[in-house]
Amino acid sequence: MIEFRNVSLIFDKKIVLNGIDTTIKKGEFVSIIGPNGAGKTSLIKILLGLIKPTKGIVLIEGLTPKEYISKHKVSYLPQQTSINWSMPLRVIDIMLIEENLRAFTVFKKPKKHLIQKARQVLDLFGILDIENKYLKELSGGQKQRVELGRCLLKDPEILVLDEPNTALDTVFNEKMYNILVEEKLKNNITIILVSHDIGAVSRFVDRIMCLNIKLHCSEKPENIDYVKLASALYGSTTNIVIHKNGCRSCQFYKTQ
């Protein structure tokens, strides 16, 4: 369980987060939504121990984030790409390099079963055909899929994704959510996903946390009052349209 206890953050005298009090259960798939500058990235950086809250604490299974991360597997896909794409490496190599070896270009031949696992993940993400391409040859969406694949390859207990869908096409965007739900069910991963795509996340996640400095709501998608939410987060003139499963305008990109 992840507990945010009265977490507040002030940057340059500006209140970025104010009294965030909530819990995320193990195996829950939660999306944090909110406008630009709402504090979404700051909140997950606090969760990951990358920044200290001004007030309050975060506990993961009773441990501080740093203690937890030193003992458990946590994958984080930041908003800004974390891989150095100018490295003269192939996709399969970057999949197999451990996080803490990223800075080094020395690359030992990995064990067969690891190569096989990396290939399975590439296949899952629809990019097995580019395994031998060099990093500099990839498109933005392919890079994003490689990053997502690396996050899952680590078999994380907690997966934190900050706007993972920015470079993804519509078809793969849908597929990504399906992959995440499947991984969650199979491996009981806790997934925290920051997104602006309220319509899509409502169809896949267990809970939506609506953040704009304060936590305005933290509810199952079906219990959210989208009119109130739009007004609290984006201003009263905004409408949110939620596409239900089976929506005819969404059918063209339905994936298996």
Q: How far is the CB of 169 from ligand ATP (least distance, A)?
A: 21
Of 94 and 161, nearer to ligand ATP (C-beta) is 161
142 binds ligand ATP (CB under 6 A): no
In angstroms, the Cα distances linking 93 to 45, 167, 206 are 28, 22, 35
Of 45 and 145, nearer to ligand ATP (C-beta) is 45
Other C-beta atoms within 10 Å of 52: how many? 11
Q: How far is the CB of 60 from ligand ATP (least distance, A)?
A: 20
At residue 128, what are phi and psi to the nearest 5 degrees?
A: -65, -30
Residues of span 34-73 touching ligand ATP by CB under 6 A: 34, 36-42
12 binds ligand ATP (CB under 6 A): yes
16 binds ligand ATP (CB under 6 A): yes
Give the pairing type, strands 190-194 and 29-33: parallel
Q: How far is the CB of 34 from ligand ATP (least distance, A)?
A: 6
Question: Quick one: which segment of 9-17, 92-100, 125-133, 143-151 binds ligand ATP (CB under 6 A)?
Answer: 9-17
Q: How far is the CB of 233 from ligand ATP (least distance, A)?
A: 11
Of 135 and 209, nearer to ligand ATP (C-beta) is 209
Give the pairing type, strands 214-219 and 55-60: unpaired
Return all residues near 31 (Cβ < 8 A) that are at least 6 apart. 192, 193, 194, 195, 201, 205, 207, 208, 209
Cβ–Cβ under 8 Å, residues 184 and 8: no
Q: How far is the CB of 20 from ligand ATP (least distance, A)?
A: 12
Of 37 and 140, nearer to ligand ATP (C-beta) is 37
In angstroms, the Cα distances linking 2 to 5, 30, 157 are 10, 12, 12
Q: How far is the CB of 198 from ligand ATP (least distance, A)?
A: 13
Of 197 and 219, nearer to ligand ATP (C-beta) is 197
Return all residues near 32 (Cβ < 8 A) that are at least 6 apart. 40, 43, 44, 192, 193, 194, 195, 209, 211
The alpha carbon torsion through 175, 170, 40, 86 (nearest 10 deg) reads: 90
How big is the chain, counted in residues?
256
Of 18 and 255, nearer to ligand ATP (C-beta) is 18
Site residues (vs ligand ATP, CB under 6 A): 11-12, 16, 34, 36-42
